[in-house]
Amino acid sequence: MSTVPHETVSPQASPTDEPLAKLLFNRPGADIILRSQDCYHFRVPKTSIVNNFPILGEIIQRTLDSPGNANAEANLPVVQLPESGEILHCLLTFVFPVTPLIPSTPEDTMELLSVAQKYQMGSVLTHIRATFAQQNSLPTGLEPALHIYALAQKYGLRPEALQTARTILNYPMTIEDFDNKLDIMSGASLYELWKYHESVRIILVSDLAEFRMSCARGTITGLRCTDLSSSQIPSWLDQYIESIGNTPNLFDYAELNVAMVRHVRDKANEIDCECAFIPSQTIRDLWNALASVVHGSFEKAESALSLVREQEDPEVQINPATSTLEPFDVHHIPDANLIIRSSDLVNFRVHKSVLTMVSPIFRDLLSLPQPSDSETVDGLPVVQLSEGSELLNSLISILYPFRTAIPNSYDKVLYLLAASQKYEMGSVQSSIRAKVKLGEFPVPKGVEAFSAYVIASGKGLIPEMESAARQTLDHPMTFEILGEGLRLFEGWALRDLVDFRRRCGDNLVTCLDSYRVVEPPGPSSVWRGCPENGSRRHFVLPKWLDQLLSQSRNNLKLQKFTDPLVIHSRIRGEYLKSLQTHLRCKFCLDVYVKESTFCTELENKLEQARDKELVRPLDDASI
C-alpha cells in the first residue's frame, strides 16, 4: 500500500484541476477526495468510510494527519489510492447507497473483489459477490475458466478459485488437454488445481462405489437385464457410474443417455432386458440421487484446494539445522583475512586473495572502500552473501585443498553451479561440471530431470538445462510424474518443455522417413536388391525393413506427445527381430554383415534427432 502525501484542491482551481470528466463520484457532505491511480476524483464524506472500513480509514487518517495538511482548511484534502478509476468507482457504489456497478469483464470483477478483500471490507465483498452472481456468472469454457482460476489464485480469492476449479472438473485434466493453455498460470497454481482434481477423483471413486452397492440408493431395483453387475444394477449403468470416478467430466446427463442407448441397441433382441423401458421418472430419480452423491463429493473435496502462497526459492529453504552439514573447521584456514557470512548466519573464514583470484566479482567487491562502521569479527571484515551455509561450505571446499563437501542432491549441485556462475568463478564451475561427469557429484536420476530442467533454466545454466530437457524425453510427461515439481515451473516453462518434446517427436519422424528413401545417397540405398521384391527390387526397400521403419514412424506419429521418446534405444532390438523373420534371404544377410554399422548409424541419427532442438533459455522465453 502506497499513499502519497495528500495535496489540496482549491475551489478556485477546481475547474481546471478537476475537470468534470475526471470527477466520477460526488456525495453530499463530501469532505475528502479519493484520487485513483489514473487521477480520477471521488468526493466522499470521510466518516462513512472511516467508521466502516478501518484499513481505508487508517490510510485516510494518516494522510490527513500528515504535516502537509496544515493549510488545507478551505479545500478538500486528497487521498491518493493505488487502484484505477474504474475499480474505485465500482467499489464506492457498494459503499454508498447508489446502484451498484460491476466491472464489464470477469477479470476486472476479480480485481474489484481483490481490492475489497485487501481493504478487509467484508460486507462489501459479500455484496459484490451477490450482485455479480445475479448479473453474470463465471465462465464455463475451459480456457476462460482457467484464466479466472489463475486470477482468483493470484488475488487470493478462495470462493472464485473453488468455483472455477469445479468448472474445470468438467474437462479432462491432462497435459495433452491443457497443451496450449499451460502458460495461463504459474506451475504452483496448476499444481494446486491438479491436486484438487486428484482429491475429487479419490473421494468420488469411494462415494460412487458405495452408491453402486446401494443399488443407486434404491432408485434402480428389481430391474430385469441380462447383464447385471454384482450390485444388482445393470452392468452398463454400473460401469457408467464407476467411470465418473476416474473422469469427473463424464458426469453429464447426455453421457448417461449415450451409455443406455448403446446397451439397449446391443440387447435389442433379448426379451430379458427391460432397460429400454425404464420409466422416465425412475431415470430422473436415479439422476438426482447420482447428482447428490457427486455434489457431496465435490463439497468434501473443497478443503483440498489451497491458495498458492508466495513460494520461496527452494535454494533458501535448505534448513541448516536439518541438513547434513558438517562445517569444516573454519579456524584451520590459517591467516584468514575475511569472513563471508551465509544467509543463515554461518561465518566462513577465508582469504581475500583466494576469492579475488577465482572471482572477478569478489575482486571488484573487495576493492570497494569499506564504510568505517562496517561489521568486523575478530578484526576481520564481514561480507554478507545470499547463499546458505551448506552451499558456501561446498563452494569453499572446492576453492581450498580440503575434502570436497559433496552436495547431496543434483538440485544442490545446480545451485552450486548457479552460485559459481553468479560470482563468475569460471574455473570452479568447470571443476563442478567435471565432478558431475566423473560421477563424484550426484546426477539427476529418472524423473528428477524435470525439476533439474526448471532449476537449470531458471538459473541460466544452459548445458544442464539442455541435458535435463533431453533426459525428460525418457519419461512420460504427465501431471502425476511432474508431481510437486510442477510448483517450480512457470507456466511458460512447462509449455516450452512441451514444445521441445513435440519438436523432438517431429524430428524423429523425419529421421525415420529419411531412412525409408531408397535412392542413393540415402543411408538405406545399400538395401536395394532384395530378391523378394522381384522386378522392383532395385527401387524399393526389403519388405521387412520397410515395415519396421514405417511402423516405427507411424507409432511415433500416433503416440501422445507426452509419451516417452525412446525409439533410439529400442530400434536395434526391433531391427534384429525383423531381420530374423527374413533369414532365408542371402542378399539381406550379406548386406547385414557387410553394412554392420547401418543400425549403429540409425541409432545415432535418432539420438541426434533428440539433441538437435536446443531449448531456449528461460530469459529469452519469458520475453
Query: Which residues of the chain form contacts with Zn ion (CB under 5 A)?
Result: 225, 234, 273, 275, 530, 542, 585, 587-588
Compute the least distance from the CB of residue 583 to Zn ion, in Å.
Answer: 10
Q: Do residues 336 and 349 make contact, with C-beta atoms less than 8 angstroms apart?
A: yes
Crossing angle (nearest 10°) for helices 280-301 and 187-213: 140
**Shortest Cβ distance from residue 581 to Zn ion (Å)?**
10
Would you say 166 or 263 has its CB closer to Zn ion?
263
Nearer to Zn ion, 468 or 541 (CB): 541
Closest CB to Zn ion among 205 and 599? 599
In angstroms, the CA 412 to CA 585 distance is 56
Smallest separation (angstroms) from Zn ion to the CB of 236: 7
DSSP, collapsed to helix, strand or coil, labels residue 44 as: strand
Name which of 223 and 361 has its Cβ closer to Zn ion.
223
Residue 476 C-alpha cell reads as: 512420460
**Helix, strand, coil abundance in the chain, percent, nearest 5:** 60, 5, 35
Q: What are phi and psi of 43, to 5 degrees?
A: -90, 120
Q: Closest distance between Zn ion and the C-beta of residue 512, in Å?
A: 20
Measured from the CB atom, the residue of 12 and 581 that comes closer to Zn ion is: 581
- The answer to whether 400 and 354 have CB atoms below 8 angstroms apart is yes
Residue written as grid cell 572446492:
398
DSSP state at residue 79: E
HEC letters along 547-589: HHHHHHHHHHHHCCCCCCCCHHHHHHHHHHHHHHCCCCCHHHH
Burial bucket for residue 477 (CB in 10 Å: 0-12, 13-18, 19+): buried
Pick between residue 272 and residue 329 the one whose CB is nearest to Zn ion.
272
Minimum distance from residue 231 beta carbon to Zn ion (Å): 15
CB of 149 to Zn ion, least distance (A): 40
Give 160 or 546: the residue with its C-beta nearer to Zn ion.
546
Whole-number minimum distance, CB 490 to Zn ion, in Å? Answer: 51
> Quick check: 440 and 398 in contact, CB under 8 A?
no
**For residues 16 and 269, which CB has a smaller minimum distance to Zn ion in the complex?**
269
The reply to whether omega before 521 is within 30° of 0 (cis) is: yes
CA 398 remoteness from chain centre: 35
CA-CA distance, 334 to 351, in Å (whole number)?
9
Task: Give the shortest CB-267-to-Zn ion separation in angstroms.
Answer: 5
Residue with cell 536395434: 572
